[in-house]
Amino acid sequence: MIHHKGKIALMLLLPTFAYLIVFIFYPLVDTCLLAFSNPAGPLENFRRIITSGEFWKTLRNTLVITGIVVPLQLILGLALALFVNLRFKGYLFILYIIAIPLALSDVSAALMSYSIFASTGFLNKLLMAWGWIERPLYFFGFRFQDRAFWVIVITEVWRATPLVFIILLAGLQAVNKEYLEAANVFGFSPWQKLWKIVLPILRPSILSALLIRTIFAFQVFGVIWILAGRDIPVLAGEAYYWQTVVYNSNISSAYGLIIAVVTILISWAYITFLKPKSFEEEAV
């Protein structure tokens, strides 16, 4: 009987194993083989990337975008989660409005931003209709990289903050109201309740949100490619460029591994410094 149950369990797991092998394990192995394949040596592709001046600019852009977008998403997502968690009349409607961007792909979000900020877009038409400007403002193009950068930041914050919001709102459900009632008895201010009770309980949710958004931020590609192309190069964009334009799968795979290594290191730092502490550890 046990043997029979074991066979059934194995059969139920087979689709999962098949998915992991076909869509994760095989592409990962193939990527590694391509990245380390070069007649000049296994590390030649990486040497070629790192010694090019473009790589450091690309890495810097990726880190800067991630360093700006992820904290903004965390702060805004936390503020929205705390607001909706008040459960005022009509809060479900607000929740649905906030969650709308989750239904959009990065390409759709980028096209919407372009229709707003283009020289003939909604923003310029509105500003000229109000008489605030006489000529259109330009946000895209090689000469306007700084403006395009902030359009990318705004788009990413708007597009992906709802994911952080949902994670933190779910985490707020673990905050026992009795803790907050006890804090009221001891005269805690709203700020003290946030720092001493809510945020420590939310720590696992914050860690999850940071991990997910940082990994996705390093892989951001569609928004940047549509709004700026290679005017603002990022790691994922360079991997796409070398694969589809230059047709060099080796360099593209090397970029992919670099993205993986950087995200693993950052994830390790998150888990090391932000992991929730047990009550015993806190007591010590």
Tens digits of residue pLDDT in 16-69 = 889 888 888 898 899 999 999 998 888 999 999 999 888 999 999 999 999 999
Exposure of 42 in the CB half-sphere (CA atoms within 13 A): 3
Q: pLDDT per residue over 225-261, tens digit each?
A: 999 988 999 999 999 999 999 999 999 999 999 999 9
- Find out whether 45 and 35 touch, Cβ atoms under 8 Å: yes
Q: For the residues 102-121, what does the mean pLDDT come to?
A: 91
Which tokens sit at 65?
């975008």
* The pLDDT value given to residue 175: 81
From residue 56, give the alpha-carbon distance in Å to each of 166, 233, 269: 34, 10, 22
* The pLDDT value given to residue 279: 40
- Find out whether 207 and 269 touch, Cβ atoms under 8 Å: no
79: three-class secondary structure by DSSP: helix
Please give the torsion angle defined by the CA atoms of residues 258, 242, 28 and 163, in that order, rounded to the nearest 10 degrees. Answer: 70
φ/ψ of 41, rounded to 5, equals 140, 155
Amino acid (1-letter code) at residue 169: L
133: three-class secondary structure by DSSP: coil
Q: pLDDT per residue over 152-198, tens digit each?
A: 999 999 999 999 999 999 998 888 788 777 887 878 888 888 888 88
Residue 276 DSSP class: P
Considering only CA atoms, give the Rg of the chain: 24
pLDDT band for 1, please (50, 70, 90 cuts): very low
259: three-class secondary structure by DSSP: helix
φ/ψ of 176, rounded to 5, equals -70, 130
Q: Give the span between the Cα atoms of 34 and 32, in whole angstroms.
A: 5
**Residue carrying the six token digits 């090019």:** 52
Q: Give the span between the Cα atoms of 198 and 176, in whole angstroms.
A: 9
Q: For the residues 79-100, what does the mean pLDDT come to?
A: 89
Instruction: List, in order of start, the domains of the chain with CATH numbers.
Output: 54-103+160-283 (1.10.3720.10)
Q: Is the pLDDT of residue 273 over 90?
A: no
Q: Give the span between the Cα atoms of 101 and 112, in whole angstroms.
A: 11
Q: Give the span between the Cα atoms of 205 and 211, in whole angstroms.
A: 10
Which tokens sit at 188?
């805690």
| pLDDT over 70, % of the chain | 95
From residue 207, give the alpha-carbon distance in Å to each of 106, 109, 159, 211: 23, 26, 20, 6
Q: Is the pLDDT of residue 209 over 60?
A: yes
Q: Give the span between the Cα atoms of 23 and 280, in whole angstroms.
A: 41
The mean of the pLDDT values for the chain is 88
